[in-house]
Structures are given as C-alpha cells and as structure tokens.
Amino acid sequence: AQSVTQLDSHVSVSEGTPVLLRCNYSSSYSPSLFWYVQHPNKGLQLLLKYTSAATLVKGINGFEAEFKKSETSFHLTKPSAHMSDAAEYFCVVSPPGFQKLVFGTGTRLLVSP
Amino acid sequence: KAGVTQTPRYLIKTRGQQVTLSCSPISGHRSVSWYQQTPGQGLQFLFEYFSETQRNKGNFPGRFSGRQFSNSRSEMNVSTLELGDSALYLCASSFGQGPIDEQYFGPGTRLTVT
C-alpha cells in the first residue's frame, strides 16, 4: 500500500526565513507525489507534483520539492516565507493507475512577522 | 474557466436523516472524486466516478453512495446520518484519462450532524 508520513504537525517560522516541511513516502512502485495547500475556508490547491521527469520539482509561489529515492523523502521548501504562506500543507501520494489521492496528516505552517 | 463548484456550502442535519451533496466539475473534466475531511481522520477518499461509472471506492460504509450524470455533474448521498459524519466534504475533478492527472478541488460542503 502507498502512504505518506508528514513528520511535523506544526512548523513555525518568521517572515523572510526559509521553510522546510518534511514528508516521507512508502510505495512499492515509482510513486506520483504531490504537495497541496489549504488556506482557511478554502479548497485544496496543488502546489507541485512529482512524476519522475525530474527529481527537483518547482511549484507555484516559490515552493519546490526534491524527490530523494534513497531517503524515500519528498520535502517541501521555500527560501523565504511570506505571511500569506500560513496555511495547512498536505503531502499526497497517488497509487499508479488510480484516480485517487492518499493524503498525509498535514502540517500547519505558522508565519510570524 | 469556472472552477469546481459545490452546493450547498453549509448544511445542518439531524441524526438519522439523509443528505445529498452536489458537485459540478470544471468544463471538460469527466472524472469526479469525493473526499471527507475531519479533524480526527484527516482527508479520506470516498469514491471516484468517470463517465457515469464508479471506478474507485474507498473504505466507507454503504450509507455513503454517489452517482454521476451524463454532463459529469456528481452527487453524493449519505443515508441514516450519524454524528461522526460531520465533516467537510470535498469534490475534485480531473480529465481522468491519464495516470497522473491533476485534480482540482472545490471549496467543499460543511456538513454538521446534530
């Protein structure tokens, strides 16, 4: 079975400092991995996706993630946090051949001035 | 291009009642998936429809059902509501024909069961 583990339930950073949200995956096959963001009272928005084309994936709003097979990790990073980045972030895996997303438990990012 | 729309946005029901939620996908999308989001269980996959057929199903009891119409709009029904069914129900649409198909989510329907 495919699953993801988000290692931190909450991450606090100051505006202008780097962001690191950690995710490890478990998959028998080459996985499709995603990061989604959910702002309060809004739906989920896709930040980026990994589909085996390149290990370093660039997404929207300055976010990027690196797929490391040896570490089974897919951590999300951003060089400089903005107040508007405060939200809940989900690491997601999709089993091959299925239109189905398996979500991690989420990491709430808090950004202080 | 209009996004995924869900109606109603908020709903309050009593235990034992049934409820129907609606989802209109992005134009051209033929796949509609439903997810339940609760503080305790997180985001869980309910089922996915493609061209009016259920293609995938999650681990939910039979009280949860859905259907898809010829225009790709989808409805989800929950019968004999329980307190634990209180959740945010999210709908997502995609073209549904590729192995890694981006899913676009609606704002959700917040269901409260009292």
Contact: B48, A42; criterion CB under 8 Å: no
pLDDT tens digits, A8-32: 999 999 999 999 999 999 977 778 8
pLDDT tens digits, B15-48: 999 999 999 999 999 999 999 999 989 999 999 9
Contact: A90, B106; criterion CB under 8 Å: no
The average confidence (pLDDT) of chain A is: 92
Instruction: Give me the percent of chain B exceeding a pLDDT of 90.
Output: 88
Chain B nearest C-alpha distance from A79 (Å):
25
Contact: B44, A45; criterion CB under 8 Å: no
pLDDT tens digits, B36-91: 999 989 999 999 999 999 998 999 999 999 999 999 999 999 999 999 999 999 99
Alpha-carbon distances of A11 from A19, A81, A109, B26, B62, rounded to whole Å? 8, 12, 5, 34, 38
Phi, psi of B11 (to 5 degrees): -150, 135
Chain B nearest C-alpha distance from A40 (Å):
10
Q: Residue B113: is its pLDDT beyond 70? A: yes
Q: Tokens in use for A57?
A: 């994936």
Alpha-carbon distances of A34 from A74, A103, B5, B63, B114, rounded to whole Å? 9, 9, 22, 30, 35
Q: Residue A108: is its pLDDT beyond 90? A: yes
pLDDT score for B1: 67
B7 has a chain A CB within 8 A of its CB: no
pLDDT score for A27: 79
Burial-class residue B31 by CB neighbours within 10 Å (0-12, 13-18, 19+): buried
Q: What is the mean pLDDT of residues A86-108?
A: 89
